[in-house]
Amino acid sequence: MNRTEIKKEIEKLEQEIKEKKQRLVELKQSLPQKPVKNYSFTDSYGRKVSLSDLFGEKNELLVVQNMGKSCAYCTMWADGFNGIYHHITTKSAFVVATPDAPEVQKTFAAERKWQFPMISTIGTTFKEDLGFVKEGSEYPGVSSFRKDEDGNIFHITDAFFGPWDDFCPVFPLFDLLPSGSKGFIP
């Protein structure tokens, strides 16, 4: 295939991917909303906060299921969220949940200059209940929630994080380079 033919094939494939992604969004948004309990956490300042508290004045909430300070990948994703946090909060509340102790979170967030709130999931079944801990292994991702006018909280959907997901542009950007992203570790 010559360059023109390859570019046409790329355009066709990109359109197919866009259509598949839109279908995925539609399916995720059509999931029946699942009631969840009002979990209790500790924030990075050592204060007790409930899942309901995390909504603030919003009725929608995004909780990033971060694996903590020891995960370089999760740190890179969080660095990216820091840059768009002020945009996210125009529509939804946003918090990063890690298995780290609150004092570790506070220090690490200050070192990274993160602006978003953080909660510790120590002593909770939050990550397990949402499917981000399986057979003792933890996985990163994001969960969405809605709170109704009566204060009831519903789990909407989730997405898992990893190279080439929709939540970290580093890998797709590197893949535009001749050397690609192969072998990149944050």
pLDDT, tens digit (0-9, with 9 covering 90-100), for 57-87: 999 999 999 999 999 999 999 999 999 999 9
What local confidence, expressed as pLDDT, does residue 122 receive?
97
CA distance 91 to 165: 22
For 93-150, the pLDDT digits (tens) are 999 999 999 999 999 999 999 999 999 999 999 999 999 999 989 999 999 999 999 9
- Secondary structure of residue 149 in the 3-state scheme: coil
What local confidence, expressed as pLDDT, does residue 131 receive?
97
What local confidence, expressed as pLDDT, does residue 127 receive?
98
Give the global pTM.
0.95
What local confidence, expressed as pLDDT, does residue 111 receive?
98
What local confidence, expressed as pLDDT, does residue 50 receive?
99
Residues above pLDDT 90, as percent of the chain: 98
CA distance 161 to 139: 8
Q: For residues 62 and 93, is the Cβ–Cβ distance under 8 A?
A: yes
With cut-offs at 50, 70 and 90, classify the pLDDT of residue 11: very high
Residue that the structure tokens 């979170």 belong to: 105
